[in-house]
Structure 1
Amino acid sequence: MRLTVLSTLFLATTSLSAGAAFAAGDLNVICAADVVICEQMKSDFEKDHDIKVNMVRMSSGEAYAKIRAEARNPKTDLWWAGTGDPHLQAASEGLTAEYQSPMLDQLQDWAKSQAESSGFKTVGVYAGALGWGYNTDIFKQKGYKEPVCWADLLAPELKGEIQIANPNSSGTAYTALASLVQIMGEEKAFEYLKALNANISQYTKSGSAPVKAAARGETGLGIVFMHDAVAQTAEGFPVKSIAPCEGTGYEIGSMSIVKGARNMDNAKTWYDWSLKPQVQSRMKDAKSFQLPSNKTAEIPKEAPRFEDIKLIDYDFKTYGDPEKRKALLERWDREVGAVAN
């Protein structure tokens, strides 16, 4: 009888220990970048660490909504990549945890500024300018003029030839919305967006989907981050990327640890690891041509350089504010989304 009791206790203890060990070796990640770099990051991290990564790919808006919905019982440990505005919104709402990585001093000023402005609840991991990519074969065949300015996208000949994502689900499209408001002023920006709607064939869920459709010849042009257009060119598609002549906004792709993460130590391990130069230098191998946040990481030769682009002084703090973001999205829903083709 005593042996039976001891055996039962031993098995119970062993089971608990095994469960604890398994839990300690898990990391639940939302990746808000392109699926190829998401898979590469997961694979590289698991090679370097005895930690199993459970990864879900979502757009930035979807990631924010999921983390917000699970605030009382977080199922996600870490949110990697995606535009900085929803990361800043999550930080301001107390959905993400403060963490100052020992890697901070190695980062570009714009990446450190992102961390400081959020109370160290997010950090910049890459950056990229907004623009578009168009299918040069389609434009040549149909005799379209190359669009080099925001104003050119309103040309009647481009009716049904343009795709952009929905800003409710896509950080890319929200950056476009916020950029146009900063370039033109809110009233004129919404007048522009309502006029542009006549030329939009589809509002996609994913930010990079429009230029992928252009690459396949399904549409003429996609409004995206320029590095996503460059990625299609690198794959051999007839896509040319454009930086708008009037100026454009840019993203600081960010990373945040979820407040109350079940695997907090593992989340910090990923956080520090992903800021290393050798990790960021590998992004180009997944056809990700953003500007890395680590100062010593290799910049891909294909990456659109900020010094070659007319950038606006994008106000991340204002347009990452929950109330401002909510107001702009609600107005977009009323005035653009409700009458979308």
Structure 2
Amino acid sequence: MRTKLLVTTILFGAMAAVLPARAAGTLNLVCAADVKWCELMEREFEASHDIDVNMVRMSSGEAYARLRAEARNPKTDVWWAGTGDPHLQAADDNLTLEYKSPMLDQLQPWAQRQAEVSGYKTVGVYSGALGWGYNTQILEKKGLAAPACWKDLTDAKYKGEIQIANPNSSGTAYTALATLVQLMGEDEAFAYQKALNANVTQYTKSGSAPVKAAARGETGIGIVFMHDAVAMTKQGFPVKTVAPCEGTGFEVGSMSIVKGAKNLENAKVFYDWALSPEVQSKAAEADSFQLPSNKGATVPPEAPRLDDIKLIDYDFAKYGNAETRKALLERWDREIGAAAN
């Protein structure tokens, strides 16, 4: 009997050695992507792991603010997705943990650079360029030509036809703010935004909300990441996507493990899983058309290619710095936000 028990124990141990590691317990996840993608990630991860996910969806700026508020007693384990600048700011504030995933060498150079710039406290999970989407039916009905350049958006003919998010809550809008500063110079960029403000009907909380409003016919133009406009077209709405003629910025959507995470091992399991080509290839199932960071992932045919877009040399290190962010947002509040209220 003892011999049988010994053999069984040895066989079980050998099987366990070749099976993939599975952690048990819970994972507290903040997701800053579109809710449909967040729900897909939660569902897929729980289906393949013995880990229950407590997921909260919020914009990038809100996620950053949450990590700051929780700094002394973190309740979040992983912050997945959302624009890279707030992730870099969280790294700069020492709110996130250094972690070098074994998946790192499978990633695109821009995703690896994001990790290097942050001291390996964040990593790139996808990328996409900034632009806008417009409702073709609304512009045609009103006899308005489609805007092709940033300068076009300040034309008085678009008064009441533009939405963009608030950069305090939205990583998309902060990317737009930082893009304009790099494209024009700070003073010129704020002068531009004052002119643009005359045409803006709403500064939304979420970065993708403006083009969703355009898709529903509530506004003509939504300034967003181009892949969010593509998603509306894919869903059957009369939305066309524009890459600004002067050039534009882009995001490196990122992922970070929170310093002091209560479920650290589970956070690392999710982190590595989220960087795999199989998982990243599923994004299109949630109408998300960003460029995946894993070189082996399937790129959706609808995804706007960075090589086809005139991009600025976006300075992620500078505009991912907490002090730079604070200064730009304070000026935006004084000169743009106050005028909008």
TM-score class, shorter-chain normalisation, is over 0.9
In the aligned structure 1, how far is the partner of 2:142 from the partner of 2:59?
33
Match of 2:289 in 1: 289
| 8 A Cα contact 1:165 1:172, kept in partner | yes
| 8 A Cα contact 2:103 2:272, kept in partner | yes
Match of 2:136 in 1: 136
Matched letter for residue 340 of structure 2: A
Q: How does 1:20-99 map to 2 (within 5 A)?
A: 24-99=24-99
> CA RMSD for the aligned pairs?
0.8
Match of 2:340 in 1: 340
Match of 2:249 in 1: 249
Matched letter for residue 138 of structure 2: I
| 8 A Cα contact 2:131 2:224, kept in partner | yes
Q: Is 1:222 matched up with 2:187?
A: no
**What are the ranges of 5 or more consecutive residues in structure 2 without an aligned counterpart?**
1-22
| 8 A Cα contact 1:24 1:263, kept in partner | no
In the aligned structure 2, how far is the partner of 1:136 from the partner of 1:304?
19
Q: Deviations over 1:39-73 (max 9, x none)?
A: 00000000110000000000000000001000000
In the aligned structure 2, how far is the partner of 1:100 from the partner of 1:282?
23
Q: Is 1:274 matched up with 2:274?
A: yes
**What are the ranges of 5 or more consecutive residues in structure 1 without an aligned counterpart?**
1-22
Match of 1:191 in 2: 191
Q: How does 1:99-110 map to 2 (within 5 A)?
A: 99-110=99-110
Q: Deviations over 1:294-324 (max 9, x none)?
A: 0010000000000110000100000010111
Match of 2:6 in 1: none
Matched letter for residue 204 of structure 2: T
Q: Deviations over 1:176-223 (max 9, x none)?
A: 000000000001000000000000000000000000000000000000
In the aligned structure 2, how far is the partner of 1:146 from the partner of 1:170?
25
**Identical columns (%):** 74
In the aligned structure 2, how far is the partner of 1:124 from the partner of 1:139?
36
In the aligned structure 1, how far is the partner of 2:191 from the partner of 2:163?
18
In the aligned structure 2, how far is the partner of 1:50 from the partner of 1:308?
42
Secondary structure, aligned partner of 1:119: coil
Match of 1:150 in 2: 150
In the aligned structure 2, how far is the partner of 1:197 from the partner of 1:289?
29
Where do 4+ consecutive residues of structure 1 move more than 2 Å?
none
| 8 A Cα contact 2:24 2:50, kept in partner | no
In the aligned structure 2, how far is the partner of 1:30 from the partner of 1:210?
22
| 8 A Cα contact 2:170 2:206, kept in partner | yes
| 8 A Cα contact 1:169 1:205, kept in partner | yes
Q: How does 1:204-223 map to 2 (within 5 A)?
A: 204-223=204-223
The two structures have a TM-score, normalised by structure 1, of 0.93
Shift in Å, 1:155? 1.1
In the aligned structure 2, how far is the partner of 1:326 from the partner of 1:213?
29
Match of 1:14 in 2: none
